[in-house]
Structure formats: C-alpha cells, structure tokens
C-alpha cells in the first residue's frame, strides 16, 4: 500500500522551531519529488515547498511565505522527508500534509502533474 | 495572474449533475488536477491530466478544460460527494498553486 505518515507536530512558541517528518512506504521514495502543503483551520490548501529526487539534484523550492525560514530535506535511506521550520509565526499554525508529485507530462500542448498520495497531516500550533 | 479562482460554494440536488469550475491563466497551458477533501480528512486526488481518474474514483467524476477554465463534473451526485473540492495548477514561477476551494452541498 502506498502510504505517507507525518509526525512531529505540536505546540511551539512564536520564534521557535519544529521539525516535521514524513515517512513513506509502498513506492520508490528515492525517485519521487516530495512536497509539503499546509491548511489553516477553515482555510484552503497552501503549497509550502518541495524537494526533488537525487537525479534532479535534490532541488528545493519554497512558497514566498516561508522562504528563508523553512527547509525541506530528505533521507532516501530512511524513505523519509523532513520539513524544518524556524522563526515560526502565529500564521504558520496549520495542519501540514506531505504528498508525492507525479507526472510532469505534456500532451496536446498542455502539461500536467498531480499529487498522490497524501499523508494524514500533522497539526502545528504556534502560540504563546 | 498567479491565481486560481473557484466559486466558494455550490449545491446540487441528489442524483443531479454539478460542475465545479476553476479559472486561471496557467490553465491555458497546464491541466488542472482536482482533490476532494471531507471534514477532518486529507485531500484525495479525483481527476488529473486531460481527464484521468485514479483507481477507486467513481466514473461519475470527470474533468474538462477550455481556455483558462478547468471543470470538474459530477454526473449523478451522491450524498458521499459532499465535500470541499480544490483545483491545482502552476503559478507564474512554475510552482504548484491551489484554488481557494469549493464547498459542495448535496441537497
């Protein structure tokens, strides 16, 4: 079964740090790009960032809202991706999901990719 | 612009057909993917590419695209289809971008 399991969420004070983990199973993790997506309570989905595979130089990209504060890494030997969050703000409070991206295909002049599967999410609360 | 616009809420009578739309410039060159999210649960992929359904997604779900608009159609909506639906494409930097979501109510 293809599965992602996040862990590491919790309560942290503003300005603090937290590291989330995403353990993968059931697919070739080392060849997959992994993303983090968050969702504040009652709000929509917000892409946080991604890390590509070794074949793509472990390239990372981040949303403007977290760039310079968050770092995504991975350990292919452990089939795990990480999200290191520093200088946390109250507005970072959200459920954080990890997900795998697939595709990157082009057909008929249009390109496409998709996210599947998604983990169950882990709640991060930034509050004093 | 780097935005994907969805109607905040849509309703449909049980057994009827409903279309959920997503508008954005990136959709002219990038097919949307669609995700269903029920309360307290993680998103689930329902449509990707031109009109592809993952294994396990009922064939009443279909996708289409025209110009800057992508659509998710549910033909014969069921009570269990009541959920939030999100489209996804790319922003001007090529990074993933989600629409604001549409809350579907099945009456």
pLDDT reported for residue A48: 98
Confirm if A23 and A34 have CB atoms less than 8 A apart.
no
Residue A109 pLDDT greater than 80, yes or no: no
From chain A, the residues in CB contact with B44 under 8 A are 118
Q: Do B48 and A121 touch (CB under 8 A)?
A: no
Residue B54 pLDDT greater than 80, yes or no: yes
- Which residues on neighbouring strands pair with residue A113, listed in sequence order? A103
User: How does residue A26 score in pLDDT terms, banded at 50, 70 and 90?
Assistant: very high
Residue B85 pLDDT greater than 60, yes or no: yes
Partner-chain residue, chosen from B44, B65, B86, that has the shortest CB–CB distance to A45: B86
Instruction: Give mean pLDDT, residues B24-41.
Output: 95
pLDDT reported for residue B10: 98
Number of CB pairs, chain A paired with chain B, less than 8 A apart: 72
Q: Where are the domains of chain B?
A: 5-106
> Cα angle at B71 between B83 and A112, to 5 degrees?
100
CATH number among 3.90.1260.10, 1.10.150.240, 1.10.3720.10, 2.60.40.10, domain B5-106: 2.60.40.10
Nearest CA in chain A to B41: A120
Task: Say which residue, A48 or B91, is predicted with more confidence.
Answer: A48
pLDDT in tens, A51-106: 999 999 999 999 999 999 999 999 999 999 999 999 999 999 999 999 999 987 78
pLDDT reported for residue A9: 98
Nearest CA in chain A to B53: A114
Which sign, positive or negative, has the C-alpha torsion A36, A55, B96, A63?
A: positive
Q: How far apart are alpha carbons B53 and B45 in whole angstroms?
A: 8
pLDDT in tens, A28-56: 999 999 999 999 999 999 999 999 999 99
Three-state SS at A90? helix
Pairing of strands B102-106, B9-12: parallel
């Amino acid at each position: 079964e293809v599965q992602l399991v996040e862990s590491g969420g919790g309560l942290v004070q503003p300005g603090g740090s937290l590291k989330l983990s995403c353990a993968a199973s059931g697919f070739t993790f080392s060849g997959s790009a992994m993303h983090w997506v968050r969702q504040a309570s009652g709000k929509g989905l917000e892409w946080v960032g991604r890390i590509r595979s070794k074949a793509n130089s472990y390239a990372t990209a981040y949303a403007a809202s977290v760039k310079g504060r968050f770092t995504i890494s991975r350990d292919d030997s452990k089939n795990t991706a990480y999200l290191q969050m520093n200088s946390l703000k109250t507005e970072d409070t959200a459920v954080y999901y990890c997900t795998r991206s697939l595709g990157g295909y082009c057909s008929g002049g249009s390109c496409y990719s998709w996210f599947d599967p998604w983990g169950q999410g882990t709640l991060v609360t930034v509050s004093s | 612009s780097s935005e994907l616009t969805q109607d905040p809420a849509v309703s449909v009578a049980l057994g009827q057909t409903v279309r959920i739309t997503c508008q954005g410039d990136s959709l002219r060159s990038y097919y949307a993917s669609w995700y269903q999210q029920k309360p307290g649960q993680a998103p689930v992929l329902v449509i990707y590419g031109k009109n592809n359904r993952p294994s396990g997604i009922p064939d009443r779900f279909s996708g289409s695209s025209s110009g800057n608009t992508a659509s998710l159609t549910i033909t014969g909506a069921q009570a269990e289809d009541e959920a939030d639906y999100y489209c996804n494409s790319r922003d001007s930097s090529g990074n993933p971008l989600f629409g604001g979501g549409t809350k579907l109510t099945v009456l």
